[in-house]
Chain A
Amino acid sequence: MKKIFNPFEDVSKSTRLLLILFWATCLAIFWVASSLGETHLFPTPTQVFTGFKELYQEGLVIHIFSSIWLCVKAIVIAIILSLTFTYLSTVPLINTLAKAISRLRYLPLTGITFYMAILINDARSMQVWVLVVFMSTYLTTSLLSMIDSIPQEEFDHARSLKCNRWEVLWQVVVIGRIDHVIEVIRQNLAIVWMMLVTVESILVAAGGLGFLIKNSDKFMNHGRIIALQIVILVVGLSIDFVLNYLRKSFFRYSKI
């Protein structure tokens, strides 16, 4: 028992399970307690359940897929752009450009969307490109750091095997780090998923989870808001799990 209060102590599987159950119970108690009374902070579990039912009847599944589809489109474009710039960052001419793209992550969303609205008319395309611009900056940052962390020995090893510079890039960075790219996508997914919902709620175009939140927010429907938050969290965690599973199954050598 003492162990669970000491730093760096190993605990058994069953103890870990008990700890998870303990915290889940605490959360449930907090939720129920904070939903009691007239000026309650959270909606009651019943209200949330009703929110789920209503959302399902209003096509929640379609909205989830709409958001996932938007996420997939944006992430594919962003990863192609980021990978191109990152891989080419090994070429001195492109290096500065790639680093500049990484620094653009400090730009505010509003200013960018203003100019994008001028350039793009279609709202759905606008959502995709807003996400692409922001995801690319974060992905490029993580991918550049991935290249920086490759030990010099790996480059020397490829060179000692008579690989020319482009072969070194291909063998060590491109195919040698595919599993790391998946990991980078996975780690950045939380930001992307969070931004996706924000982008959907700013630019109400073709539905999606962000649109549903915005709608529920407008009518102060707390039960629906919490229900949606739970859905967004679960979908996000599921994508995270799938990516991690894919990395581990397809790349046996990957011990990240």
Chain B
Amino acid sequence: MVYTMGNTLLYVEDLSVAYGDKVVIKDINFVEKDVSRKDTTGQVIAVVGRSGRGKSTIFRALTGLVKPTTGKILIADTLSEDENSAKEVEEGDVGFVDQKYTLFRNKTVSEALMFALRNKEITTKEKKEKIEEYLTKWGLLKMKDQYPCELSGGQRQRTAIIEQIFCSGHYMVLDEPFSGLDVGNIEDVKNAFNLISTNHSFNTIIYSTHDIELAVELADSIYVIGYPTIDGNLMSYGTIVKHVDMKERGLAWREFGLSHIEVVKEIKAKMMET
């Protein structure tokens, strides 16, 4: 499929995070650009790797929840008039949905969404209309007065995603959005990805998963996190050990086929090494 690369949306350079003496991730470098094709679409980036390799730490750094020990993370400053201007990521710039789809336990769905919109300069009526519109589109209208403990896992996840869409900019990080979901809910998440990425060209979804098939099926860029081998020694910190650009390979935005299976095998082999 024909596509063009635009401005840099995400720039990560020499990122490392350490807690005391324990280095969790190190030497993380990557760049993601605005990808345009016939239909306006956002970017879908998957991060895969075995447990304990630092995926969650990368996500905490990308969302500004943990300060990098070294390096920097820049995102496109979409509010600036200068097309190429970038800013260091801060808390709240990048939406974050964790594995447990955490929500405010004391707020109903509509209260939570109203809270997410609290800083937007629109009237209360407009906020209510926006909430109603999203709840309808995401199949949550009936649940608007329910508390998180009264929602199913899928409903909680969708509420958490809308909350982050309302509050953050164009970036959304989802930590293992497919874990523990049934077939129907997985389809719902796929639809959610579609809704987000077709909404704006800058919209960028970064998600982690242990399901390599799903990573290959949905993402247009895949990063494998693992322990690197330096001078024959396996290190104990996580870094990017492989990057698969599905666009370059001509596999992005296509039905899952035999070529995708080859990529799955390739990624799994790399994961086992690291």
Contact = CB atoms under 8 A, between A and B. Distances in A.
A160 B92 contact: yes
B104 A160 contact: no
B106 A153 contact: no
A248 interface: no
A156 B160 CA distance: 13
**A interface majority secondary structure:** helix
Contacts of A5: none
Contacts of A176: 104-106
A181 to B, nearest CB: 12
A161 B95 CA distance: 8
A210 B57 CA distance: 57
A156 B65 contact: yes
Contacts of B104: 157-158, 171-172, 176
Contacts of A172: 104
Interface string B74-115: 000000000000000001101110101011111000000001
Contacts of B96: 156-157, 160
Contacts of B160: 157
Interface in B126-177: 147-150, 160, 163-164, 167-168
Contacts of A103: none
B208 interface: no
Interface residues of A, number: 20
Interface string A242-256: 000000000111010
A157 B102 contact: yes
A151 B102 contact: yes
A217 interface: no
A175 B104 CA distance: 10
B116 interface: yes
B66 to A, nearest CB: 9
B41 interface: no
A54 interface: no
Contact of B116 (A159, A161, A251): A161
Given A156-B96, A156-B98, A157-B98, A162 B119 contact: yes
Contact of B102 (A153, A178, A179, A253): A153
A160 B106 contact: no
B149 A251 contact: no
Contact of B98 (A153, A175, A179): A153
Contact of B106 (A156, A157, A162, A175): A175
Interface-centre pick from A151, A156, A157, A172 (highest chain B CB count, 10 A): A157
A154 interface: yes
B63 interface: yes
Interface of A: 151, 153-154, 156-162, 171-172, 175-176, 178-179, 251-253, 255
Given A151-B100, A160-B95, A255-B149, 11 more contacts: A154-B102, A154-B105, A157-B96, A157-B104, A157-B160, A158-B104, A160-B164, A161-B164, A172-B104, A251-B106, A253-B150
